[in-house]
Structure 1
């Protein structure tokens, strides 16, 4: 029995599977730039390659790896939707993101792919927001700068979540922005 055709077919299938299993980057041209409209909160963002997280990173390739922009947008949408009073609408444009920590490739070649979490690298986000009332009138709008300089001091409910510091910062902002009487 000749195994050569079978081995060639398996090698071809493995190559096709590996091509489809490539790692997604937030800077991919076909990556979404907005969440599908669901409920009272819409979230959009521009090209993440222009975000501080990627532009000023010690390792741009690693900083762009993953789906973290969309994950943060989904988190913001879902959390804001639970806090909005009936009939209100929140539109958010993410202008910039700088995640907690940084890559410090100068420490060691072994650490070039490791995000170092230190207090001098706090998470930051810049958002343009518009909050509209049930009557269609704008309640508030403008740019919001989120920053959590004390991000290492608080407890995190999920210490294994790589976006835990950014999510906690979003929660704090939503409590302030959408609290009754704010």
Structure 2
């Protein structure tokens, strides 16, 4: 009798401990999470604390919005694409200052849809960033702050087979890089 009572108490203790630690495995707002990609190559990407991002501050499901490593994935995508477009010798430093992902949670659909992100034209992706573009000697070629928005994100050219949950934000960054680093700009290719 004592052993079953002890086993029951031990199991109950483990369950309580598990519930007390029921937080997302990857939490973009975790204070211990990195705030920059490791330094490598000509493109450096860092970001402000995601807890201050519009995606988390105004989310209708903050717990779901902070899950995963989506900020790091966007930073890695930005680095990869910029590295391929950057003229030889130039360097780009980008700080992501705010992100609002495409779509939003609509809790009024009921508990079965708590973790569903609804894509509607009233929820466009938005990314604010600061950047500095330098030449091989470290001279600043261009710098500034950009507020990127794709109001027509649902009507853009996205492959039907593309199931990447960050496809709209990545396309927004790709469009910015195409405009910012185009060859006919005075700063490109110097």
TM-score normalised by the chain length of structure 2:
0.83
After superposition, where does 1:1-182 map in structure 2 within 5 Å?
23-157=25-159, 159-182=162-185
Query: Which one is further off, 96-105 or 146-155?
Result: 146-155
Deviations 1:102-161 (A, max 9, x none): 011022222121100101100000000000012321111110111111101122245210
Structure 2: unaligned runs, 5 residues or longer? 1-10, 186-190
Q: Which runs of 4+ in 1 moved over 3 A?
A: none
Instruction: Name the CA distance, whole Å, in 2 between partners of 1:102 and 1:142.
Output: 29
Instruction: Name the CA distance, whole Å, in 2 between partners of 1:55 and 1:107.
Output: 21
Structure 1: unaligned runs, 5 residues or longer? 1-10
Shift of 1:68: 0.2
Query: Which one is further off, 135-144 or 117-126?
Result: 135-144
Paired residues, number: 169
Instruction: Name the CA distance, whole Å, in 2 between partners of 1:123 and 1:23.
Output: 25
Deviations 1:1-36 (A, max 9, x none): xxxxxxxxxx9xxx9xx88xx621101122110000
TM-score normalised by the chain length of structure 1:
0.86
**CA RMSD, Structure 1 to Structure 2 (Å):** 2.1
